[in-house]
Structure 1
């Protein structure tokens, strides 16, 4: 039996060959070897950006052995155990050869294979020696094959022992050129484009798309390296990413604007329905803190984020700018316990959150000096393009910023410091749909940085963002603008300014009416962010938000996250008498009662019971009488006492007390009414 390895899980330049099982049928082993040989020879038609000479030698040897295997199969002789042993060793070696061929011909790893050229050459040498060793113990005389094939195999065995798989001179020169360019970046010297072009042409990286693929591969490798204890490859990988980011933006004019991850449009708002979530976010990474610590200024940060900040040479508080008297980090135990409780109650994986935080927090500082300087050159180039480029060049520059800032904190800060926000804000008035989308997407990423928010507001970007929210030429553009509004509203001061823009709330409501599920969610959480300022609540009510949200609860039947976010907004509005009345007038009570019993989200149940409690408090017996008549509702409330979140349990307890008191009061009134009738003289 031949075991198989899942090739999708294999990391590049790892060769997890599976040895054939003991007692394997010679016929099966032979057929598997033939299949492997054909697979290896099939790589001859593919492009080898490097290692061409070594690959040719491998193909020659495998082709000869393929003839040998097929000759054995045709003659069908009795195969001795010693022959099976040798063929098993060849089988394991051929698997490794196939893995190596696969890696050397990858379309997205050409520069990495070049940088690992010496290691790859050593692998070729080891595999050739493994073939020689297997052939040394092969009892060739006992195998019935033609004399011609036997002579070829004997000659191959001798050559395999002597052949030297060395690095091709052209590969060596290309490798030296890449190292030279990385050193130039590190020394703050911008390389000559002609030198860069020679390397890219040698590796057959000829288009923007080719370059982008290489960057994506290297980013994935960096993530894998950070999951290891040493991460020793990170500086080199980061340097290459910086180099290729520069190449993609500066050297390739033609751009494929389709390379946008659709998850980006969702703007990572999955957890924004929770009222206290903002208190749990790290001010540096804007991600959920998993290990909060306090620094001497009294501010709290996630440990991984602040450590990266300090290691990069910063000795000030990122939030206040105060100089630190010491770098001591004091665990914020109470906040950590709250976060752990929060994650447990809402079914959030703390492990996944920690991994996500690690991925984003690793980008607070550049992975290497070469990356940092390449990014600075690139930021200046993009800034110039945004000011002085053609319409196409400005659009491409915005798109490059969109890609660079997607999940990299250092890139965001570098582009903000260079001054790219002002020209981006000016481009918001563009009449080109593609430019509008790319510019607002870039500003969305930059708005996650506290300095980015400030720059957007101070450069009068809010007015233009609200304009796109209302009149963007593409629905996607308007939806991304809604997400940007949310991030801007995370600041107390800006929240008030956003609410004062007359078009903000009506435009968000239009997206709730017309948008995709993702767009509706963006608009709902943006409204939720605005409601954190009490002054915005009346404006939200007057805009007719409540009837639309109640309708959304019914229409989004299978969208649990969207329902939960909608309930969060309604729960906030229900705190006031006007909000409760609006919910009652919109006939929201039956829908919320039904959702309490049907929604699967723990947060959704919490918001439902919170709304019902507020309605009872603010609207009195009209609500209590309806709730008291529903026996199934009472069962759901009692279930929340033991199964709900701590907040839901508390609200359920209060609501049950209100309903019991209402029932007791109603019974007393009824009894008094009956007694009174008994003594009335009816004559």
Structure 2
């Protein structure tokens, strides 16, 4: 049987459909002058520079923020960084989008005018004036306006922060808190909410927020507020102030009645991961206070509240961020005799600390080594079983591996001394858990 292959005739209807598709593509092509010269995307907020060239605002702002002083197209040095909205072109783009909705093009909404430095200065002047008069209502309205601007765009937030807003708000917070926590609770809560996206703080802002009055107000929110976000904003602001490195803020917080108990309770109840982590960091800053006598007193109080056992329980099953912070606090508490005694009493302490070696992060390993070193170095004759326990759960091999893969100088020094302390007890006591060494990479 013979098969004859013949060219199939093209249907006139097929040609018509093809032409319609090509025509649709041609109609859908975006006009060149609607495209941003930088991103080559359809402009949403066209602005014109002093060079006469129009760009999408987001693209040209990134260009200028990167330290460029020229027009990307003409390469001429810009005489001014002013970005003038091109309303005519924007309207043309919006009309074109409306005409091409059948092709899935969505109409670009009219962009909101970005806040200018002058407007920020004016609203901050209003905040300062209201603070001077103790006009909480007027101040609240100004802070809410700042919050509204911040919610509109990231650019607005940058503009607000760059003009010293955090400093003015911190001053207002301290002043109204000094008058009355309860009376000005709504205003203080709104200020804390605004300050939470203005990290990090400058020294003057930290000074206002680290005052006795301001810290008392934050503790008051932690104790009395029923709103979880208010508690979170308070403790995050508190943590940011304590992280400045100035120990006087941590020491001031430690003096406030009930502050330490609240932080421990947050760790016990696990209200939220954010609050728990911030509580751990706040305790860490207080426990590592520069004043040795005060630091010992603070550590003793935390140990008396059962924090050592609480940390061990949390470390059994915790994610990286939580484990790092918990180990940092544990290391600090093991620096005092009472803390070590409580650690010896808990059968899980040594196994958990050894388990965290090489398991979490370099930071966590450093804290774990330091805590184990303190427990072994300062162990009395009755407490020498800590060294035996460390060997039984594979501490010796892990320390050797830590030295091989690389670590910080302080960790290296403590790991080396630990090996010397453990070596006399090695005979017949070692245990290796190979699962801990999986996927381990050298640092060289």
TM exceeding 0.5: yes
Match of 1:595 in 2: 356
Closer/same/farther in 2, CA of residues 529 and 39 from structure 1, 3 Å limit = farther
- Deviation of 1:660 after TM superposition, in Å, equals 0.5
Task: Name the CA distance, whole Å, in 2 between partners of 1:440 and 1:561.
Answer: 24
Most deviating of 632-641 and 29-38: 29-38
Match of 1:227 in 2: 66
Task: Name the CA distance, whole Å, in 1 between partners of 2:139 and 2:255.
Answer: 33
Q: Deviations over 1:305-363 (max 9, x none)?
A: xxxxxxxxxxxxxxxxxxxxxxxxxxxxxxxxxxxxxxxxxxxxxxxxxxxxxxxxxxx
Task: Name the CA distance, whole Å, in 2 between partners of 1:239 and 1:119.
Answer: 11
Task: Name the CA distance, whole Å, in 2 between partners of 1:499 and 1:418.
Answer: 21
3-state SS, counterpart of residue 596 of structure 1:
coil
Task: Name the CA distance, whole Å, in 2 between partners of 1:483 and 1:507.
Answer: 14
| Aligned residue among 380, 386, 399 for 2:147 | 399
Matched, 1:574 2:331: no
- Deviation of 1:480 after TM superposition, in Å, equals 2.2
The answer to whether the 8 Å contact 1:642/1:649 transfers is no
The answer to whether the 8 Å contact 1:469/1:478 transfers is yes
- Deviation of 1:567 after TM superposition, in Å, equals 0.8
The answer to whether the 8 Å contact 1:486/1:525 transfers is yes
Task: Name the CA distance, whole Å, in 2 between partners of 1:624 and 1:414.
Answer: 50
| Aligned residue among 86, 90, 96 for 2:32 | 96
Task: Name the CA distance, whole Å, in 2 between partners of 1:234 and 1:625.
Answer: 74
The answer to whether the 8 Å contact 1:537/1:573 transfers is yes
Higher RCO structure (Cα 8 Å, ≥6 apart):
1
The answer to whether the 8 Å contact 1:225/1:233 transfers is no
Match of 1:624 in 2: 387
Aligned residue-pair number: 355
Matched, 1:526 2:282: yes
Match of 2:81 in 1: 236
The answer to whether the 8 Å contact 2:263/2:283 transfers is yes
The answer to whether the 8 Å contact 1:628/1:663 transfers is yes
The answer to whether the 8 Å contact 2:222/2:234 transfers is yes
The answer to whether the 8 Å contact 1:441/1:480 transfers is yes
- Deviation of 1:98 after TM superposition, in Å, equals 5.9
Match of 1:538 in 2: 300
Match of 1:420 in 2: 172
3-state SS, counterpart of residue 598 of structure 1:
coil
Closer/same/farther in 2, CA of residues 496 and 414 from structure 1, 3 Å limit = closer
| Aligned residue among 22, 28, 48 for 1:39 | 28
Q: Deviations over 1:452-482 (max 9, x none)?
A: 2222345821211111122223222212222
The answer to whether the 8 Å contact 1:427/1:439 transfers is no
Q: Deviations over 1:577-614 (max 9, x none)?
A: 22222223343222112221532x11111211111111
Matched, 1:500 2:261: no
Closer/same/farther in 2, CA of residues 447 and 544 from structure 1, 3 Å limit = farther
Query: Unpaired segments of 5 or more residues in structure 2?
Result: 1-14, 71-76, 86-114, 430-444
Task: Name the CA distance, whole Å, in 1 between partners of 2:236 and 2:354.
Answer: 30
Closer/same/farther in 2, CA of residues 574 and 562 from structure 1, 3 Å limit = same
Match of 1:295 in 2: none
Q: Which aligned pairs between 1:482-501 and structure 2 lie closer than 5 A?
A: 482-489=235-242, 490=244, 491-501=246-256
Task: Name the CA distance, whole Å, in 2 between partners of 1:568 and 1:426.
Answer: 34
Task: Name the CA distance, whole Å, in 2 between partners of 1:379 and 1:449.
Answer: 17
Matched, 1:463 2:226: no
The higher radius of gyration belongs to 1
| Aligned residue among 113, 122, 131 for 2:47 | 113
Q: Deviations over 1:101-156 (max 9, x none)?
A: 9645x2xx2xx536689534xx9xxxxxxxxxxxxxxxxxxxxxxxxxxxxxxxxx
Closer/same/farther in 2, CA of residues 36 and 651 from structure 1, 3 Å limit = farther
Match of 1:4 in 2: none
**Which TM-score applies when normalising by structure 1?**
0.45
- Deviation of 1:651 after TM superposition, in Å, equals 2.1
**Which TM-score applies when normalising by structure 2?**
0.66
